[in-house]
Amino acid sequence: KAGVTQTPRYLIKTRGQQVTLSCSPISGHRSVSWYQQTPGQGLQFLFEYFSETQRNKGNFPGRFSGRQFSNSRSEMNVSTLELGDSALYLCASSSGTDNSPLHFGNGTRLTVT
Amino acid sequence: AQSVSQHNHHVILSEAASLELGCNYSYGGTVNLFWYVQYPGQHLQLLLKYFSGDPLVKGIKGFEAEFIKSKFSFNLRKPSVQWSDTAEYFCAVNSPLGGGFKTIFGAGTRLFVKA
């Protein structure tokens, strides 16, 4: 079974630009969660999608948005990039039931200059 | 609001030493508890999980964790660490929220094992 695939692996953007990150979950998984990982902060929850609906959202500004398609693939968008948005963005998929563990991709490393 | 607290940010041990990483969470309802590990250059992966039943759970590579409900704790242990255990370890709590489930992670503990 193929794992969670995130593209691209690396991105360099300048302040004010926008960026779209992509995530393909494990086949059969209907839940996709996004996290921001920075040194010292650990993993901060962005949002979770299940069957094309956002079920939960973390405490991030509205510049961070996402969506999920009918094939469970998900995209995350960040508009008006700020230097502080530089981080590793992780996508994780699961079956979406209460005790199902998360399966992570390798992440997209975003650098904002 | 839910939160997960890991006691140590950095731990350095010699091979064969015993390991215990602390984890406390704040949530009064039903929770599912996890430890994830991130080896250098690899993606996060599940180490072990607790849902219900025996509060002492065993995971891969000789790791175990004990759930103490009264202390809201889920500490990770290993009797004898190896150099290959060098990694970052994350405690996580999953609870029902908003019709779905939300997994919150601690800040992580970096473990370095000296050969």
CB B53 within 8 A of CB B80: no
CA angle (A93, A99, A101) in 5-degree steps: 35
Q: What's the pLDDT score for residue A68? A: 97
Residue A20 has pLDDT above 80, yes or no: yes
CB B75 within 8 A of CB B66: yes
Look at strands B87-97 and B109-114 and give their pairing: antiparallel
- pLDDT tens, residue by residue, A23-70: 999 999 999 999 999 987 889 999 999 999 998 899 999 999 999 999
CA distance B14 to chain A (A): 24
List Cβ neighbours of B52 (8 Å cut-off, separation of 6 or more). Answer: none
Q: What's the pLDDT score for residue B98? A: 64
Q: What's the pLDDT score for residue A1? A: 66
* B90–A41 C-beta distance less than 8 A: no
CA distance A64 to chain B (A): 17
* A107–B43 C-beta distance less than 8 A: yes
- pLDDT tens, residue by residue, A78-102: 999 999 999 999 999 998 876 789 9
pLDDT tens digits, chain B, 115 residues: what are they?
678 999 889 999 999 999 999 999 987 778 899 999 999 999 999 999 998 899 999 999 999 999 999 999 999 999 999 999 999 999 999 877 766 778 899 999 999 999 8
What is the Cα gyration radius of chain A? Answer: 13
Q: What's the pLDDT score for residue A2? A: 75
Positions of E strands within A9-98: 10-13, 19-24, 31-38, 42-50, 53-57, 64-68, 74-78, 87-94
Tokens representing A90 are 């992780």
CB B91 within 8 A of CB B4: yes
Look at strands A31-38 and A5-7 and give their pairing: unpaired
Tokens representing A103 are 């399966």
Q: What's the pLDDT score for residue B99? A: 65
Q: What's the pLDDT score for residue B74? A: 97
Q: What's the pLDDT score for residue A92? A: 96
Q: How many angstroms separate the CA atoms of A110 and B11, rounded?
A: 28
